[in-house]
Amino acid sequence: MENRKRHEALNWASSFLKEKKREPEAGELLLRHVLGDLSRTELLMGLNDPMTVAEQASFEAAVKKHGEGVPVQYIMGHEEFYGRRFTVNREVLIPRPETEELVYEVLKRAKSRFGDQKEVQTVDVGTGSGAIAITLALENPSLSVSTVDIAEESIAVAKENSRRLGAGVRFLHGDLLQPWIANSEKADIVVSNPPYIPDWEIEGLETVVKDQEPMRALSGGADGYVFYRRFMEELPLVLKPKAIVAFEVGHDQGQTVAEMLRVTFPGADVEIVRDISQKERMVIAEIGFSKY
């Protein structure tokens, strides 16, 4: 194998990935990873450096894997979320930037509504990698964070992330809010990014999503609302009189989920929040607070 310079390897990767209808920028991420997690600046400063045979082989294998549809994050084994690195694998959904905005909204409202409270009982439902729960716990120590997931495999990944990042999070195995209902526990905040993609839409997703990420984290049932409907049954059993509910939703689901919350909690202040791309991606209900 002829020793390539880094810029030559990048050019090859870019052409190869374009041919496979993948984002050519993925080549740079994979090269930085293979070369020992270089920063972008470090990579750019050394573009004329030759690669070793081992580096070349690893890089080409990684690029080909991505060409076959394996997400870059699963190849690298991690994804950045709220400035921290989270381990990810095929047992968990890859954290998305829009979910960072959900976390930001919860932190902002927790401070505004529960600022003086020493312990704010917070539940993240469907934890996956633990990105939401761990970030909330680390960003605001007054949040006492528990998290629930139906899959032991996902909990194992989240626990490892929690241990490595030093977050005090309690992990519960169960279906939606059932563990809290069974324990007769009450929550100040419930946050969730549940599966919300309608089954008919899943077939149209890119292979890097539908064939790689766990289906249990994607499928929201026939119409995409199956978990939101279940939440409406379970939330009244676990919320304190004053509480916040924060959901991530599909870009066209905001109005429907907001109406569900208004019907379930008459008098609640329910808001649809747009993400940075101006899509309606969050629905947040503040229940039992004065509006003045």
DSSP 8-state code for residue 224? S
Confidence of residue 84 (pLDDT cuts 50, 70, 90): very high
Is 292 part of any known ligand binding site? no
Q: Give yes or no for residue 46 having a pLDDT over 60.
A: yes
pLDDT at 51: 93
Tokens standing for residue 54: 């081992």
The answer to whether residues 159 and 32 belong to one domain is: no
Q: Give yes or no for residue 88 having a pLDDT over 90.
A: yes
Is 87 part of any known ligand binding site? no
Is 27 part of any known ligand binding site? no
pLDDT at 261: 98
Domain count along the chain: 2
The answer to whether residues 143 and 254 belong to one domain is: yes
Inter-residue contact 55 to 8 (CB < 8 Å): no
pLDDT at 93: 84
Percent of the chain at pLDDT exceeding 90? 76
Whether 97 is in a domain gets the answer yes
In the chain the first and final C-alpha atoms are separated, in Å, by: 71
Percent of the chain at pLDDT exceeding 70? 93
Tokens standing for residue 222: 């026939």
Tokens standing for residue 26: 């993925």
Is 127 part of any known ligand binding site? yes
Q: Give the range of the structural domain holding residue 54, as residue numbers without chain letter.
A: 6-68
The answer to whether residues 98 and 53 belong to one domain is: no
Share the mean pLDDT of the chain: 91
Indicate which CATH number applies to the domain containing 182: 3.40.50.150
The answer to whether residues 266 and 148 belong to one domain is: yes
Q: Give yes or no for residue 291 having a pLDDT over 80.
A: no
Whether 260 is in a domain gets the answer yes
Is 126 part of any known ligand binding site? yes
Whether 28 is in a domain gets the answer yes
Pairing of strands 269-274, 169-173: unpaired
Is 130 part of any known ligand binding site? yes
Inter-residue contact 1 to 57 (CB < 8 Å): yes
Q: Rounded CA gap, 236 and 219, in Å?
A: 24
pLDDT at 114: 94
Dihedral, CA of residue 138, residue 139, residue 142 and residue 148, to nearest 10: -60
Whether 110 is in a domain gets the answer yes
pLDDT at 218: 60
Inter-residue contact 150 to 179 (CB < 8 Å): no
Q: What are the angstrom distances between the C-alpha of 154 and each of 75, 110, 135, 190?
A: 17, 26, 17, 19
Confidence of residue 116 (pLDDT cuts 50, 70, 90): confident
Whether 195 is in a domain gets the answer yes
Of 61-75, 86-100, 213-227, the poorest mean pLDDT is in: 213-227
Whether 252 is in a domain gets the answer yes
DSSP string, 70-127: --HHHHHTEEEETTEEEE--TTSPPP-HHHHHHHHHHHHHHHHHHTT-S-EEEEEES-
Q: Give yes or no for residue 48 having a pLDDT over 80.
A: yes
Dihedral, CA of residue 174, residue 74, residue 281 and residue 97, to nearest 10: 120
The answer to whether residues 230 and 96 belong to one domain is: yes
The answer to whether residues 97 and 194 belong to one domain is: yes
Task: Give the pLDDT mean for 39-67.
Answer: 93
Return all residues near 254 (Cβ < 8 A) that are at least 6 apart: 272, 280, 281, 282, 283
The answer to whether residues 139 and 254 belong to one domain is: yes
pLDDT at 96: 87
DSSP 8-state code for residue 43? H
Task: Give the pLDDT mean for 45-57.
Answer: 93
The answer to whether residues 16 and 126 belong to one domain is: no
Diameter of the chain by CA atoms? 71
What pLDDT digit, counting tens, does each position of 192-249 carry? Answer: 999 877 776 767 767 666 556 556 656 667 788 989 999 999 999 999 999 999 999 9
Task: Give the pLDDT mean for 66-87.
Answer: 93
Whether 82 is in a domain gets the answer no
Return all residues near 40 (Cβ < 8 A) that are at least 6 apart: 28, 32
Return the amino acid letter for 26. A
The last residue of one of the domains, among 19, 34, 68, is: 68
Is 198 part of any known ligand binding site? no
Whether 75 is in a domain gets the answer no
The answer to whether residues 99 and 32 belong to one domain is: no
What pLDDT digit, counting tens, does each position of 157-192 carry? Answer: 999 999 999 999 999 999 999 999 999 999 999 999
The answer to whether residues 122 and 33 belong to one domain is: no
Is 129 part of any known ligand binding site? yes
Return all residues near 88 (Cβ < 8 A) that are at least 6 apart: 73, 74, 77, 78, 79, 94, 95, 129, 157
What pLDDT digit, counting tens, does each position of 259-280 carry? Answer: 999 999 999 999 999 999 999 9
pLDDT at 106: 97
Please give the helix or strand (H or E) that residue 145 lies within, else none.
strand 143-149
